[in-house]
Structures are given as structure tokens and as C-alpha cells.
Amino acid sequence: MTLAVAAVALMAAAQPVQVASTRVLVDSCAYFPQLSADGNWLLYSTTEASVLSLKNLNTGAVTTVADQGLPGFDARFGTDGKVYYVTQQLGKGNLVYRAAHVYDPATGRSRQVLKPQHGPVYVLPASKGLAIVGESSHFVTDKSTGLYAYTRQSQLYVVGNQGQCLTSPAGECAGYLWASVSPGGTMVAFEAAGKGLYVTDLAGNVLHRLPSASMPVWLDDAHIIAMTNTNFGAQRDKGTFIYITSLDGRQVQPLTDPEEHAVQPMVVGNRMVYVADGGQVKEVTLRWQRSDNAPSGAQPQWTPVPKSNRSDAVRVFINPGHGGHDSNDRPTPYYCHATGEQTAYYESDSNFKKGLALKEILESKGYEVEISRYDNKTEDDLDLFEISALANHSGADMFLAIHSNATGIERKLNFPLALYRGWSGEPCVAGSDSIARCIMRHLEGNHTTVWTHPSRIYGDWTFYPNWGYKTGLGVLRYNKLPGMLSEGSFHDYLAERRRLNNDDFCWLEGWNFSVAIDEYFGRKGTCATGVVAGRVIDLNADSPYPGYKFGLDYCPARNGVTLYLEDAGGERLVSTMTDGLDNGIYLLRDVKPGRYRVLCDADQDDRAVQYRDIYVRPNATTYCNFSY
């Protein structure tokens, strides 16, 4: 749910906060700003997290804290005035290892405080000091850190000196984000993806639920500042603004003009810093009647903090593009000759089928998988910035956004396309180009479709030069994971759109993703069975598909054809059937390695049964097409 500007105007009559002054701290290209407690230092990052900078606001001097290992986005000031940040590097098997460091502005030196470890590493503000939380080790700046909160997937952790409390106040969703303890130490605020902003007591009981908002921060025990979800991160999108809300949502007041496209708020005392359009960092001084009346709430049931929850399994974050049959889903129906009716096609449907198939396949192969949506409703169409935040927060080793493409031109094409963050040949995140090559190679090997051109791989800055310098794809813009966006094929190529409406065809793309991912991570023997796939077309019938002359796509697909798999002794093991949506696709899963015969029974028009002898290999696809 997005907070509408009109609604804000109606509810802002009370104006609980006044903006007393505003000043510009950095002119451009600065993101994720953090202000020191004394207000003398500003910490900020580049868009790609490649450089972490520190500015002395008294002298104007700028120092590079770190420029290796993507140190940006997650950095914070400790109460000791030092800077704590996380770096990452590719290790054995292309796993991502993250380490934590501290930088002392007084000496200009950094040292490692948390050794490289697999999985997520969070830098968290605490009521006393600061905590750095990893799965295999932790670090705290003070012996008594007080309280701090963090999230993993759909779980909220509240940690104190007495132990930890684990709850799921908002139920299951794509994940929780941006958890923080209130100044009075009695409440926790966090965002549940696609559900809204939650405020709970320390025991996880929901006290308030507000509309969806990104990066919520406490102003005091009665107010939260956040930025609206207006598809922040989408290219050339304007209108995002920062607002303040009472916990019950009855008083809501905008703090920035929508024309500023203000994002990434951070509050210290009565000062708020944020990022305006173009990466300009501004600081505003706020005046309001402070409220310190923090409710007591239920006390948590503390349990000991486990020493290690380490997992060496490869982790993948999947983003099935779009969500819900909404305007950005680009609905493109087509006429189905088998049914004589218009058939709906929504990209969000096929993206979701591919993503869910990939998740299930990878989990069966021993991967740990997170996914950005579990359904295809409007509320599942998450903000692009939120998707990037979920991916970064997951501690995954790889990010994959799943889409199909449309040319928007009269001449229709069909080929797989890979886009990663950066210039072509110069990915911002190491490993992204290798992932793209693996995936394109396996998608291009799909012989149930017809490719009009070879696969293509680009950096998104190169592919979209008209969007502006280093603009690129929103879902990759703040994403620190090795990864890419896949345009698996072109759905405005009519023959491909018919295939994308077939569940087995979508599952096959998910399967091909999984085999490519196995290759990238050097994992062999992850699946003991193989897949048999193909299409059935009619070479002799007149084509009902005008204008499509690539390969055999001018031929009618055969609907309702039964296919059998026989073993070497002629015993029929399993059967399947092509659907009635003019695509002719069939698929046989979980086939043990060995020699088989596939029979295609199209005797409804008295033609002979066709057969092919095949050999099935583990963790591979055997293609077997039939033409009549």
C-alpha cells in the first residue's frame, strides 16, 4: 500500500513537526548517508557501494574509508565515533564471504573486527553501542550493548543482554526489513515486504500496523520517519518523499517535496539527513514536541543466543519480475485457434511459474533459496528498492531477476538476453558476468523453442544509454550480490507467448536456470535424474499464424497429443499430453539416466505413431521434437 500525496495533505493539518533549517552536505552522487552523533561527520556511499567516503562537515575534507569489497550501504557510526562497515569477496566455489571492519577517523586506519564468513553480516545500532551480527560470529562495540533488533527472512530477532527473542509478528512474506528498537527500548519497528510497516512490543505483539514504507527510523517514541514506496529505484521515476507519522497513523506529515525524489532518511537527535534527486545529501533540523511516553508492553521470553547458526549451503535469491495483473505487467493476449477465444497472457504469471519452479528445483538440489514473492497479487509487486534490500539482507551468493522481454517494435524477435549492473565486460559486482554467461548458454540450448537470434549479454549501463549516465536497471542499482536480470525470451513474439502460457515450458526454463547455477558454483551430481522435453508440430497443415516465418514457428502446434516414455524392454513407464493452447509443448520430469524410447501418438487423424530413441543423462535435458 502506497501512501498517497492527497491523503497526506488531508491528514497533515496538525503539522506536528516544523522544518527549522535545511542545508546541503554533499552536492551529488552520495547515497545511504549516516550522520555521526556529534553532527560533525557524514558517511556516504556511491550508488554501487564501491566507495565508502567520510566528510568532515567542519572542514569540508573528504576521506576514502574503503574502496575494495563493496564497503558501502551497510556502514554505520558507533557511539565511539568510529566507522563500522562490511566488505565482501568471492571465495571457493564462488561463494560470497563477508567481513566486518572498523575505521578510526582520528588515525585514518582500518582493522578487521569480524573474519570473513559465509552468509549475512549486519551492522546494527544498539541502545548502547553497536552490534555486528554474522551467522558464525558476532562483534559488539560495548560489553553491554543493551537492546538491538534484526530480521532474517520472516523472522524478527530482539537481542538483549539476557538473550534473544525470536518471533514472526507479520506472518510469512518475502521478508522483513529495517528493524530497529525505539528510543525508549520498549518497541520495535520493521517493514514486512508487501504487507506494511509494523510496530511491536519486545515480545513481538503487534501494537500498530501502517502502510508500506521503506527505511523507517524512529524520531521519538511516538513518531516514525520513513520514505514512501513509489517504485523507488525504477528508472526516471519521481515522486518519492519522506514523511513523519504517529504510530497510530492519525497524524501524517510530509517532510520533503515530492519533486525532490527524497529517499534514505536517517535521524540523529533533531537532525535528519536524506538523499535528494541526483544523490544530493541534505540535512534538515526539525522542531517538535518530543514524546518519551514509551508503552511498557509484554516482556519477551529470553532464550540463549546460539553461538553459531552456520550453513555452508549455497544461497540464491530469486526475484520473479512484476507481480499482480497490473499496468506494469504489460498484458498481451492472443487468439487461441484451438479454443477459438482470446487467451490472456501476463508476464507476471510466467515469471512467477519460472521462479517458483527454480526455487523448488534448487532446494531439492540442496541450495538455500529466498524468493521475493510467493503469489501473484498486486501487493506482491514490491518496490524495486525493497527487492534489492531483501536480496542484500539475505546474505545470498547470487541474485537472479526473472523476466521475459518485449521489443515494442513491429519486427518481432526471440532470443535470451542477460543484463548485469555496470558496463559490458565491467560488472560492478564480481562474478555477475560469469553468471550471465552460464545462464545464457543453458537458455540458448532449449530446443523446444525457436530462437531468431543468438543470446546477448550486456551491462545495463551499456544497454540503456538513453536512461542517463550509470542509471541502469532499478532492481540492480543498489544490489550488492553477484547477479543479473534475465529476459529469458520475447513474449511479444507470438509463438513464444503461446509457449510461455504452458506450465511445463516455464518449468523447463526454471530447470535450465538450475543447471546453469550448478555450473557457476561448480556443483556436480546435484540431481540424479534428467528431463525429457520437446514440441509437437504439424508440417502439412496450413498455418494459422500469419507473419511468423522463423524456423518451424509458421507450423501449427499439435494440441492434445499423447506421448509415452518406454524403457529398453518396451514397457510404458509414464505418459503426458500437450495442452490445448497452441504450443505443442510436452515435458517428462525425474527420468532416471538410461536409454528410452519416446512415442508420439497423434492417431486422432490416422497418422502413424512416431518414435525416437533417446539417452537421458543426470541433471540434463534430452530434447525430442516431433513433426507431422
Question: Is residue 102 over pLDDT 90?
Answer: yes
Question: Is residue 304 over pLDDT 80?
Answer: yes
| Amino acid 6: pLDDT | 37
Question: Is residue 496 over pLDDT 50?
Answer: yes
At residue 601 the predicted structure's pLDDT band, cuts being 50, 70 and 90, is confident
The label of the residue with cell 538450475 reads: 514
Kind of pairing, strands 242-246 and 252-254? antiparallel
Q: What is the pLDDT of residues 143-152, one digit of tens each?
A: 778 899 999 9
| Amino acid 296: pLDDT | 80
Q: How far apart are CA 514 and CA 528, in angstroms?
A: 14
Question: Is residue 548 over pLDDT 80?
Answer: no
Give the mean model confidence (pLDDT) for residues 92-98. 96
Q: How many CB atoms lie within 10 A of CB 607?
A: 13
Task: Tell me if 386 is assigned to some domain.
Answer: yes
Last residue of a domain, one of 288, 323, 356: 288
Question: Is residue 606 over pLDDT 80?
Answer: no
Q: What is the pLDDT of residues 212-270, one digit of tens each?
A: 999 999 999 999 999 986 544 333 346 789 999 999 999 999 999 988 999 999 999 99
* Of 108-122, 410-424, 547-561, minimum mean pLDDT range: 547-561
Task: Tell me if 425 is assigned to some domain.
Answer: yes
| Amino acid 306: pLDDT | 82
Give the mean model confidence (pLDDT) for residues 373-384. 92
Q: How far apart are CA 211 and CA 611, in angstroms?
A: 58
Say whether both 443 and 474 belong to one domain: yes
Give the domain CATH number at 265. 2.120.10
Max avg pLDDT among 234-243, 354-363, 534-543? 354-363
Question: Is residue 532 over pLDDT 50?
Answer: yes
State which amino acid sits at residue 343. Answer: T
Q: How far apart are CA 379 and CA 473, in angstroms?
A: 21
Say whether both 54 and 137 belong to one domain: yes
Say whether both 509 and 564 belong to one domain: no
> Each residue of 298-320: b (16+ CB within 10 Å) or e?
eebeeeeeeeeeeeeebbbbbbb
Question: Is residue 518 over pLDDT 90?
Answer: yes
Give the mean model confidence (pLDDT) for residues 361-386. 95
Q: What is the pLDDT of residues 31-73, one digit of tens each?
A: 999 999 999 999 999 999 999 999 999 999 999 999 999 999 9
| Closest to 344 in 3D by CA, of 487, 491, 450, 489 | 491
Greater pLDDT, 565 or 550: 565
Question: Is residue 8 over pLDDT 80?
Answer: no
Q: How far apart are CA 266 and CA 274, in angstroms?
A: 6
Q: Which domain holds residue 512?
A: 313-526
C-alpha cell at position 255: 517532510
Say whether both 405 and 324 belong to one domain: yes
Last residue of a domain, one of 492, 510, 526: 526
| Amino acid 236: pLDDT | 37
| Amino acid 7: pLDDT | 39
At residue 196 the predicted structure's pLDDT band, cuts being 50, 70 and 90, is very high
Question: Is residue 551 over pLDDT 90?
Answer: no
Strand order in the sheet with 456-459: 368-371, 315-320, 398-405, 483-490, 417-420, 456-459
Average confidence score pLDDT of the chain = 91
The label of the residue with cell 524520531 reads: 219
Q: pTM here?
A: 0.94
| Amino acid 15: pLDDT | 60
Question: Is residue 182 over pLDDT 60?
Answer: yes
> Each residue of 99-116: b (16+ CB within 10 Å) or e?
bbbbbebeeeebeebbeb
Among residues of the chain, what percentage have pLDDT more than 90?
77
What backbone phi and psi angles, to 5 degrees, belong to 420? -125, 165
Say whether both 494 and 550 belong to one domain: no
| Amino acid 10: pLDDT | 36
Question: Is residue 358 over pLDDT 60?
Answer: yes
Give the domain CATH number at 372. 3.40.630.40
Task: Tell me if 170 is assigned to some domain.
Answer: no
Say whether both 239 and 332 belong to one domain: no
| Closest to 338 in 3D by CA, of 578, 18, 601 | 578
Task: Tell me if 165 is assigned to some domain.
Answer: no
Say whether both 327 and 409 belong to one domain: yes
Give the domain CATH number at 607. 2.60.40.10
Task: Tell me if 610 is assigned to some domain.
Answer: yes
Q: How far apart are CA 139 and CA 127, in angstroms?
A: 15
Greater pLDDT, 26 or 162: 26
Say whether both 134 and 78 belong to one domain: yes
Among residues of the chain, what percentage have pLDDT more than 70?
94
Say whether both 329 and 393 belong to one domain: yes
Say whether both 423 and 337 belong to one domain: yes
Say whether both 476 and 535 belong to one domain: no
Last residue of a domain, one of 526, 542, 568: 526
Give the mean model confidence (pLDDT) for residues 343-369. 96
Give the mean model confidence (pLDDT) for residues 432-455. 97
Task: Tell me if 435 is assigned to some domain.
Answer: yes
| Amino acid 605: pLDDT | 55
Q: How far is CA 31 from CA 44, 181, 265, 395, 464, in A?
A: 6, 23, 10, 21, 22
Task: Tell me if 626 is assigned to some domain.
Answer: yes
Query: Contact, 579 vs 505, CB < 8 A?
Result: no
| Amino acid 311: pLDDT | 77
Say whether both 594 and 537 belong to one domain: yes
At residue 410 the predicted structure's pLDDT band, cuts being 50, 70 and 90, is low
- When divided into structural domains, the chain yields a total of 3
State which amino acid sits at residue 590. Answer: D
Task: Tell me if 159 is assigned to some domain.
Answer: no
Question: Is residue 409 over pLDDT 60?
Answer: yes
List residues bridging with 458 in a β-sheet: 419
Q: Which residues contact 605 (CB under 8 A, 6 or more apart)?
A: none
